[in-house]
Amino acid sequence: MPPPPEFSALLLDIEGTITSISFVKDQLFPYAYDHVERYLQEHFEDGGLQGIISDLRGLAKEQLLLDPDQVRIVRDNKAEAIEDLVHNVRHWINTDKKLTAMKALQGLIWEEAYRRGDVKGHLYPDVLPVLELLCKRSPPTPIYIYSSGSVHAQKLLFTHSINGDITGKLSGYFDTNVGLKGEAESYKSICRQIGRDASEVLFLTDVEAEARAANEAGLQVRLVVRQGNAPLSEEAKKDFIVIHTLDDII
């Protein structure tokens, strides 16, 4: 095993890196799928939801051009609008679309689930001890999150994790508002925002395309292998250092 990397900031993917894919795939996504209709019916007039609904209306018009057989234009009548929104959101969940407005709605649904105690955020056992060690360094190493899930959803997971509220260990959060995870410019933007040279930042992910984008941007990269993750290509194994636990970066 190569020696641990030297870095002054850590950037973490969530799903498949520090939390299991099955938690997101088998708990969070089905919860949003099952509860989206009830949530919209109960909160349709809420001020915080109205902006998201407006964004979802615009998103439906965009996606209709790409997927005319499945996506519906959202009608004006409340009952019909809810019917159309539920149809679109469930379709996008089934097809694993990374759409910011949909992620925002999912975040609100998950907030209610966390608050009710229906869901607790999964973290692998090696995660919290490593975060604590990094926070105890002198100076402390800042830890950031970059996920396709909304910043709101990210904060919910870490506030209501199986280890309790660990948001005090984290210095910031990024989602697709900063750019897509498969694009190098997204990582350059993150480095600018956190005030670090790209070469000083270590990015951990389980996704080869994200690793290549971050590497192109100049970040240090480790590919994380966890049980249940998609297998890595032979090229990825040759091009990147592979780790199986966060202990390997300390």
Residue 15 among known ligand-binding residues: yes
DSSP string, 79-134: HHHHHHHHHHHHHHHHTT---HHHHHHHHHHHHHHHHHTS--B---TTHHHHHHHH
Whether the CA torsion 43, 46, 48, 52 is positive or negative: it is positive
Give the Cα separation of 132 and 68 in Å (integer): 49
- The Cα–Cα gap between 34 and 22 comes to 17
Between the two ends of the chain, the Cα-to-Cα distance in Å is 12
Is residue 13 part of an annotated ligand binding site? yes
CB 86: neighbour CB atoms within 10 A? 18
- Does the annotation place 147 within a ligand binding site? yes
Q: Is 239 annotated as a binding residue?
A: no
Q: Is 175 annotated as a binding residue?
A: no
d(CA 182, CA 126): 26
Q: Which residues contribute to the annotated binding site for substrate?
A: 147-148, 181
Q: Which residues contribute to the annotated binding site for Mg(2+)?
A: 13, 15, 206
Q: Which residues contribute to the annotated binding site?
A: 13, 15, 147-148, 181, 206
